[in-house]
Amino acid sequence: MAEVKEKNLFDYTEDSIKSLDWKEHIRLRPGMYIGKLGDGSSPDDGIYVLIKEVIDNCIDEHTMGYGKHVDITIRDKTVTIRDYGRGIPLGKVVDVVSKINTGAKYDSKAFQKSVGLNGVGTKAVNALSHYFKVQSIRDGRTKVAEFEKGNLVKEHKEAATDEQNGTMVTFVPDDTVFKNFHYIHEYLDSQLWNYCYLNAGLVINFNNKRYVSKNGLLDLLQRKTNEDEIRYPIIHLKGEDIEVALTHNNDYGEDIYSFVNGQYTTQGGTHQQAFREAFVKVVRDFYKKDYEAADIRGSICAAVSVRVQEPVFESQTKTKLGSLNVYEEGPSMKNFVLEFLSKELDNYLHRNTAIADALKKRIEQSERERKELAGIKKLANERAKKANLHNKKLRDCRVHLNDEPPAKNKEEFVALQNNSTIFITEGDSASGSITKARNVDTQAVFSLRGKPLNCYSLTKKIVYENEEFNLLQHALNIEDGLEGLRYNRVVIATDADVDGMHIRLLLMTFFLQFFPDLVKRGHVFILETPLFRVRNKQETIYCFDEAEKQAAIKKLGGKPEITRFKGLGEISPGEFERFITEDGIKLQPVILEQGDHIQHLLEYFMGKNTQERQEFIINNLRVELDLVEENQAVKS
């Protein structure tokens, strides 16, 4: 009998070489095409990227002068997007959505300043969808093709139609890829408004709601700011291939929204950095004073949009611009933005002396506040070192959001960075359970000592004087802005009781008061953990509310054992593990809706006991009592 040779894992033979077709590669490595997967609880999760990839094509048609509106519907998990552009050439309908490197955007004359240039977008949507249908209507004829997970299942014959020209795509994301996913309306709302701000006059109809902007970035800032809180009227400047809107308010930090060819670049890039540097230089030159850059940009709220030929992004999801030039043969991004602001902003400030004076006062106020904090910050930093942060308060993880990805295995490393999470807990028992159950590569734990201070209406001085706040900002590395943020997700993990809710509210107040960008950029979440455990000898069911508990009791029958978890510390590490794994974690995002203004929110929830808040509590208490009485009547 021949001897069987054991295969070595490190053998490198012909069998090691694999060839994947386009859809297999997308499904095996989705992160290369749509970033992280997620379940919809974060605005950059894959299900929103799928929608974006289809809408981007509609926007490109609009930009070229074809189609003034887009219709979008989402019913359950089915997405339908219809534009009224030229329609895909009927003979290429199948190829455009199923053959990599196929599309019109390789012809730069047809799509000079398009968002997507590599012909991957709709192919990725197709491959990652349980069901995908594309229909093109063009000059009285229509063509339909249907797919499942990228595989063509039915190609319809061309037919006559009286419908208006355009393209319609319907898809259902594959729930074996996007597990337990759900759409959050606020994220979709923000996504669609951004398209309208960047394409003034475009009308988007989404589930019977109409989105349209007449004034572009001016409208964006008006929705992002409160007229009562801004220090001067919004400055709105437009030029060829560039648009800027800006003002200052009383919030801490920098709030800058940047766009390229209609694409919201959530991670900024060369255009955003060029704006930040150019704005500082123009202001210094105008006032003829060498202000600190941090004082000039402190409390700024701005939006900048550029249009670039052949944009180069640092990832397929196009969230960070890498292009250094605006045109193939033209000025650098830095010089392009600087030249525009040097002329337009300088002229504007000379013509509007009252606004120039208000801007100067805001800068000088930031300067005074910075100098007042200088001594306190130094002492606070020394205290943080003495507290031995990384051993006592923080159980850190190995991979952080601000780490430089290695040259090899970059995709896998970026995926870990996207999952980097810090759990903020209260008490040793809860911290201990999460620490034992966590993934040490991507999950860190910060332990609070008691309830934090209510910091509403306090100045940033308190962040350095209060040990808990000081150590927390050091753990997150956000003292000087979000550029150094160490974790993609900041998760508040408190007990589901009155004390836990209070701590949750105090922490959200801290972030909104001093680090609002952390919330605005979608980094803050609430950890949802089960309230009940229902089990018999055969099965255990964890329930997150009363309805789930009743359903579990009915399913298990008899008299199952029911445990009410009073706090996170009562959940054993072995049980906790299932609630913080990527497949099992339930996160509730902290979302600021369009039109929400931070200081009004904080005053309402954390300010003095106003009549408005009293009425809200009384009215909602009545609703709760009515529900209790109704339930009791049903039982009797």
| pLDDT per position as a tens digit, 36-77 | 888 898 888 899 999 999 998 998 888 888 989 999 999 989
| Partner residues linked to 542 by β-bridges | 533
Which tokens hold the place of 318?
């196009």
Global model pTM greater than 0.85:
no
For 575-613, write each residue's pLDDT tens digit.
Answer: 888 888 887 888 999 988 765 677 777 777 777 766 777
Cβ–Cβ under 8 Å, residues 41 and 589 = yes
Give Cα 516 distance to the centre of its chain: 14
The domains located in the chain, with CATH, are 22-212 (3.30.565.10), 217-366 (3.30.230.10), 387-529+575-596 (3.40.50.670), 532-564 (no CATH)
Give DSSP secondary structure letters for 430-495.
HHHHHHHHS-TTTEEEEEE-SPPP--TT--THHHHHSHHHHHHHHHHT-TT-GGG---SEEEE---
CB 562 within 8 A of CB 553: yes
- Report the pLDDT value the prediction gives residue 426, as an integer from 0 to 100: 85
Report the range of poorest mean pLDDT among 93-107, 117-131, 240-254, 355-369. Answer: 93-107
Contact yes or no for 241/371 (Cβ under 8 A): no
At residue 351 the predicted structure's pLDDT band, cuts being 50, 70 and 90, is very high
In the prediction, which pLDDT does 387 show?
64
Percent share of the chain, pLDDT over 70:
86
pLDDT band at 282 (very low <50, low <70, confident <90, very high): very high
The whole-number pLDDT of residue 4 equals 44
Which segments of 39-165 are extended strands (E)? 69-75, 78-83, 129-138, 141-148, 151-155, 159-160
Q: Which pLDDT tens digit goes with each residue over 217-267? A: 999 999 888 888 899 999 999 998 899 999 999 888 888 999 988 778 877
Torsional class of 334: left (φ above 0), alpha (ψ -120 to 50), beta (otherwise) = alpha
- Per-residue confidence at 2, pLDDT binned at 50, 70, 90? very low
Amino acid at 196: C
- Mean pLDDT over the full length of the chain: 84
Beta bridge partners of 395: 445
> What distance in Å separates the CA atoms of residue 420 and residue 50, rounded to the nearest whole number?
23
Signed CA dihedral, 601, 602, 603, 605: sign only: positive
Spatial separation of the C-alpha atoms in residues 237 and 46, rounded to whole Å = 34
Confidence class for position 439, pLDDT limits 50, 70, 90: very high
Average pLDDT over residues 451-478: 89
Single-letter amino acid code for the residue at 372: E
Tell me the chain's radius of gyration from C-alpha atoms. Answer: 27
The answer to whether 554 and 618 have CB atoms below 8 angstroms apart is: no
Contact predicate 157/151, CB 8 Å:
no
Interval 554-562 mean pLDDT: 90
pLDDT at site 117: 40
Residue owning tokens 């950029």: 521
Taking Cα atoms as reference points, which of 465, 452, 477, 463 lies closest to residue 394?
Answer: 477
Does 289 have pLDDT greater than 60?
A: yes
What is the distance between the alpha carbons of residues 169 and 70, in angstroms, rounded to a whole number?
12
State residue 599's pLDDT score: 73
Residues near 636 by Cβ (< 8 Å), separated by ≥ 6? none
What whole-number percentage of the chain has pLDDT above 90?
45
